[in-house]
Amino acid sequence: MTPVRALIQGRDSVLLMGVLNRTPDSFSDGGEFLEEEAALARVRAMIAEGAEIVDVGAESTRPGSTPVPASEQLTRIGGVVRAAAALGVIVSIDTTLPEVAERALDDGATVVNSTSLDPAAELGELAARRGAALVLMHSRGSMAEMQGFSLYADDAYGDVVADVAREWHEAARRALARGLPREDLILDPGLGFAKNARQSLELCARLDELCALGFPVLVGPSRKSFVARAAAAPGEPLAPPEDRLGGTIAATLACTEKGAAIARVHDVGPVRQALRVAAAIRASMGAPPPNPRSAPREEEPHA
């Protein structure tokens, strides 16, 4: 059993995954953690705030971003994965490239987090061979082809939840066919990726339908533009990424109520505080914690 799976099985509450971008051009914190000392200080701070997973990435996924070759990703990552793993936190490597994932697993990562369904087979084989968990995030096309922040045709999906589930299942089958155990596969619906604000909000509202598929669900609403669009009054400018904490917390709470297993966030401490207060309110009412994961559908997908 992978470390992240052991945590998920032992908990009713959501796990917090802290974001560490080793990039010069990420949409909200590009360039802040390029120096290794700053990156490790950030890792320690997120652990102190309650992060149980740290997600290290070296390639921006903002709309219009260009692919970063493996050699450059590895240079940017440096010794951060190894140093973070030595602190006892679960480390995830945010990449679509098997060679980058392999090196990070050598350095102590135990989760591969792919922002594309395309490399599902290759990453599934790698994760199976190395005993790692695999996150597959739903998206369509490359980041370079994305039209903009939360800009996507309203008729691009017939039913966004059903379409995301179907397309994700197709990729999941490829990963499972390469030997990845079902219990080591995690579903990310890709909030904000190849989706407009309405589509992302609908995925949040109906997340329990994805949780019922029988895979742990990871959500990443943190600082996303759909949060800003939902909060803005008509004619009002969108809040910049650093001013979207309130919306991030609201989206995270909504997804938690629907059964999310993992929340990927930049602001670990405030989100953790909000989750604890919501749990205390629920407990004061005698209500059980939300857990749609308790009755998974096991029939799909088949390897």
Report the C-alpha gap between 271 and 266 in whole angstroms: 9
Q: What are 84's two structure tokens?
A: 């973070």
Report whether 239 contacts 231 (CB < 8 A): yes
Q: Looking at the annotation, which residues are catalytic?
A: 224, 264
What value, to the nearest 5°, has the Cα angle with vertex 115 and ends 110 and 118?
A: 105
Token pair belonging to 241: 């990424």
Residue with tokens 């792919």: 114
Cross-strand pairs, 16: 263
Cis-peptide into 301, omega within 30 deg: yes
Q: Are 125 and 102 in contact (CB under 8 A)?
A: no
